[in-house]
């Protein structure tokens, strides 16, 4: 194996093992930032040694053992621990011995709980949504700062600052590295799911830039969602989110035309939909429903996606059921965006005039003032009603609001087409 091949292998190993490595270390040192430093130290040593010795049979265990030894050295010589020892006496010494003992057993630990703890820590509400996304992709997705910046079209220093500040905030707030219980667990789980879906959505429909989709982000979110489903198998909303992402991801290949242009849902070639992902999504939705309890927002959205996934042609879509599901979603999590989606479903089920009436009621909503999909939906309904000049104006307004180049081009084309 050449040095180049070895470096590629190390990159692949890091992407696979880094989350487990950092999670195991964070449990022991109780500091996410320090855990990442130790993991990075182990990676540097691997980059130095593996080109000569070759990639070990169990690279993950090698990295953990190396990081473990680095951490033990730090524990034993840490001035901070010495100061705490003076303050806390025998209690701290006992804790230090326990920590060292944990390190020595680390290679054989079941890291499932550690990954779950890391997810809850990276998505802690003390952090801003942007910081949660960046830290999750960094620690759990194994992405570099450059990759995160490129995916979200923000400067690399901005992402680096978010990550540094997030780790500092967690340390200063003394956020415990644990899976919370009771009501706090439910609230924190909601934050974890929201972060994963934010990542997925940015991949599914990029908010800015030249690409209509960024499939790698969808893959990262889906992979983390599947891991979470294994770690929290009794949480219906976890399976609901996985179901939603699986079914949505099944359409990624059909959402882009030959030249990279966006293809709308009703115009997609459904033969290009990934049936395996649809089946996986439907199975995850069934698990969510089997677990019982109140149906959550992700399970409801997954049920909506399932209506599309089951329809072999656009004409077979059960728009009446989709409208009813949006009614339920609006009651559970009322928002103008949900109402806009409900208006689309009503327009498909009962006709464009019914949909337009609902959309017109949203035009004065302050939160939708800069939301490009409001005039886009309105333009579509107006075009169906034959009000082409009004439709053109709406499509042009939508084009002016979107920051995605591909979507802007599509909207301008629709504006021109609506007057023909």
**Can you give the pTM of this predicted structure?**
0.80
C-alpha closest to that of 107 among 142, 56, 144 = 56
**Could you give the 3-state DSSP secondary structure of residue 109?**
coil
> Which is it for strands 208-209 and 403-404: parallel, antiparallel or unpaired?
parallel
At residue 245, the pLDDT reads: 98
At residue 113, the pLDDT reads: 78
At residue 211, the pLDDT reads: 86
| Entry field: residues in the chain | 420
Helix/strand/coil percent split, the chain, to 5: 75, 0, 25
At residue 375, the pLDDT reads: 97
Show the DSSP H helices in 112-258 as ranges: 112-122, 129-139, 145-152, 156-172, 182-204, 215-231, 236-249
Tell whether the torsion through CA atoms of 134, 137, 139 and 140 is positive or negative: positive
**Could you give the 3-state DSSP secondary structure of residue 378?**
helix
Burial (CB count <10 Å: 0-12, 13-18, 19+), residue 357: middle
Q: Say how many C-beta atoms besides its own lie within 10 A of residue 123's C-beta.
A: 24
**Could you give the 3-state DSSP secondary structure of residue 323?**
helix
Six-digit token string for 296: 């959550």
Tell whether the torsion through CA atoms of 396, 397, 403 and 407 is positive or negative: negative
Show the DSSP H helices in 250-274 as ranges: none
24 CB-near residues (< 8 Å, 6+ apart): 64, 106, 109, 111, 114
pLDDT string in tens for the chain (420-residue length): 576 777 788 787 887 788 888 888 888 888 888 888 998 888 889 888 888 888 888 888 888 889 888 888 877 776 655 665 565 555 545 554 554 454 444 434 444 578 888 999 999 989 999 999 999 989 888 888 988 888 787 899 999 999 999 999 999 999 988 888 878 888 889 889 999 998 999 899 888 888 889 898 899 899 999 999 998 899 999 999 999 999 999 999 999 999 889 999 999 999 999 999 999 999 999 999 999 877 899 999 999 999 999 999 999 999 999 999 999 999 999 999 999 999 999 999 999 999 999 999 999 999 999 999 999 999 999 999 999 999 999 999 999 999 899 999 999 999 998 765
20 CB-near residues (< 8 Å, 6+ apart): 60, 111, 114, 115
């Amino acid at each position: 194996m050449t040095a180049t091949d070895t470096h590629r292998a190390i990159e692949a190993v890091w992407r696979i093992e880094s989350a487990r490595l950092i999670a195991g270390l964070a449990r022991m040192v109780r500091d996410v930032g320090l855990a990442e430093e130790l993991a990075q130290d182990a990676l540097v040593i691997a980059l130095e040694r593996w080109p000569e010795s070759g990639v070990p049979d169990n690279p993950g265990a090698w990295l953990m053992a190396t990081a473990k030894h680095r951490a033990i050295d730090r524990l034993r010589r840490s001035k901070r621990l010495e100061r705490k020892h003076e303050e806390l006496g025998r209690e701290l010494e006992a804790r230090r011995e326990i920590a060292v003992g944990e390190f020595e057993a680390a290679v054989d630990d079941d890291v499932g709980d550690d990954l779950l703890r890391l997810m809850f820590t990276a998505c802690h509400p003390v952090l801003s949504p942007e910081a949660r996304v960046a830290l999750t992709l960094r620690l759990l997705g194994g992405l570099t700062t450059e990759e995160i910046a490129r995916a979200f079209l923000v400067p690399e220093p901005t992402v680096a600052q978010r990550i540094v500040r997030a780790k500092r905030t967690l340390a200063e707030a003394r956020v415990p590295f644990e899976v919370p219980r009771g009501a706090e667990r439910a609230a924190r789980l909601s934050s974890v799911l929201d972060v994963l879906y934010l990542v997925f959505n940015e991949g599914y429909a990029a908010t800015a830039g030249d690409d209509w989709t960024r499939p790698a982000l969808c893959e990262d979110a889906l992979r983390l969602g599947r891991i979470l489903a294994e770690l929290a198998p009794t949480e219906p909303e976890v399976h609901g989110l996985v179901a939603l992402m699986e079914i949505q991801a099944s359409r990624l290949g059909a959402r882009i035309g030959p030249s990279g242009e966006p293809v709308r849902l009703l115009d997609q070639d459904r033969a290009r939909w990934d049936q395996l992902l649809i089946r996986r999504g439907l199975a995850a939705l069934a698990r969510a429903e089997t677990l019982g309890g109140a149906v959550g927002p992700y399970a409801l959205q997954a049920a909506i996606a399932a209506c599309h996934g089951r329809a072999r042609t656009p004409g077979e879509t059960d728009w009446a059921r989709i409208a009813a599901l949006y009614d339920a979603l609006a009651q559970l999590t009322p928002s103008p965006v949900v109402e806009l989606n409900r208006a689309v479903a009503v327009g498909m089920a009962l006709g464009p005039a019914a949909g337009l009436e609902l959309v017109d009621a949203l035009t004065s909503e302050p939160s939708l003032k800069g939301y490009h999909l409001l005039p886009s939906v309105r333009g579509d309904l107006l075009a169906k009603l034959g009000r082409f000049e009004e439709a053109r104006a709406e499509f042009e307004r939508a084009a002016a609001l979107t920051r995605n180049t591909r979507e802007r081009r599509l909207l301008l084309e629709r504006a021109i087409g609506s007057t023909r």
